[in-house]
Amino acid sequence: MLKAMVTGGNRGIGKAIAAGLVAEGMQVWIACRDVDSGMVAAAEIGATCVPLDLSAHDLAAQDLTLPPELDEVDVLINNAGVLFEAPLFSVDARIEECLRVMVLGPYALMRRARGGMAERGYGRIVNLSSGWGSFGEGLGGPGAYGVAKAALNALTVAAAREMPVGVKVNAMCPGWVRTQMGGASATRSPEEGAETALWLATLPSDGPTGGFFRDKKAIEW
């Protein structure tokens, strides 16, 4: 049985991805900082919740307590994200927190999971990005969000080059999804937003790596 971890899997797209992986027959851990809601979500979909707060650590000192389950993970979904509606150069942009949660946190998780994936000769890593992190689409979004997602895209390309044989790393844009972040007016359900992530999480051996996708099709960086 394959084992998967989804960060920020207690709600929205992350929860939909976690549910989809459970449906694929995987053992799934939801990693989130709100453990109470994580426990509820995990019980609903047949997963397990583990605590992880990517914003509460000193990444310069590599001071991040990671779930030990990462050593067993075959599929890692870096879904956790934050969005602050503030100009880039204002204190409310909270750029350090954006980078911790959406760049440095995924880096630390990939670094930890890499060893076990190498031993087993198999791994699928999916980084939840956004069209707002695409230079080809204008690098949009408020404040630090697009900057962090662009950095996550760069991390995806670099990580894919250095992963062992059998491990694939890709980024994806879920589109505009009805979540706490996307709002009620968004055009897609969490399940629709999760589709490309689930495709990348279950790629065959000849599937792509180091790519950026929306609706299962490559898009511009």
Q: How confident is the model at residue 56 (pLDDT cuts 50, 70, 90)?
A: confident
Residue 172 CB coordination number (10 Å): 28
Residue with tokens 């409310």: 92
Q: Which residues contact 60 (CB under 8 A, 6 or more apart)?
A: none
Q: Residue 141: left (phi > 0), alpha (psi -120 to 50), or beta?
A: left
Average pLDDT, the chain: 94
Q: Where are the domains of the chain?
A: 3-218
Q: Inform me whether the pLDDT recorded for 142 exceeds 70.
A: yes
- CA 127 to chain CA mean position, Å: 4
Angle at 148 between CA 37 and CA 143, to 5 degrees: 90
Percent of the chain clearing pLDDT 90 (strictly above):
85
What average pLDDT does the segment 141-167 reach?
A: 97
Tell me: the pLDDT tens digits for 9-33?
999 999 999 999 999 999 999 999 9
The residue count for the chain: 221
Q: How confident is the model at residue 179 (pLDDT cuts 50, 70, 90)?
A: confident
Q: How confident is the model at residue 64 (pLDDT cuts 50, 70, 90)?
A: low
Q: Is 122 annotated in the active site?
A: no
Q: What does the H/E/C string look like for 20-73? A: HHHHCCCEEEEEECCHHHHHHHHHHHCCEEEECCCCCCEHHHCECCCCHHHHHC
Task: Compare 146 and 61 and report the one with higher pLDDT.
Answer: 146
Taking alpha carbons only, the member of 99, 98, 74, 107 closest to residue 6 is: 74
Half-sphere exposure at residue 217, Cβ-oriented, CA atoms within 13 angstroms: 3
Structure letter (DSSP) for residue 177: B
pLDDT for res 62: 55
In three-state secondary structure terms, 95 is helix
pTM: 0.95
Q: How confident is the model at residue 176 (pLDDT cuts 50, 70, 90)?
A: low
Q: CATH number of 3-218: 3.30.1450.10, 3.20.20.20, 3.40.640.10, 3.40.50.720?
A: 3.40.50.720
Lowest mean pLDDT among 51-65, 92-106, 119-133: 51-65
Please answer whether residues 99 and 161 qualify as being in contact, where contact means their C-beta atoms are separated by less than 8 angstroms: no
Q: Inform me whether the pLDDT recorded for 55 exceeds 70.
A: yes
Please answer whether residues 77 and 5 qualify as being in contact, where contact means their C-beta atoms are separated by less than 8 angstroms: yes
- CA 151 to chain CA mean position, Å: 13
Q: How confident is the model at residue 178 (pLDDT cuts 50, 70, 90)?
A: confident
What average pLDDT does the segment 95-113 reach?
A: 95
Tell me: the pLDDT tens digits for 68-88?
999 999 999 999 999 999 999
Find the catalytic residue in 9, 125, 127, 145. 145
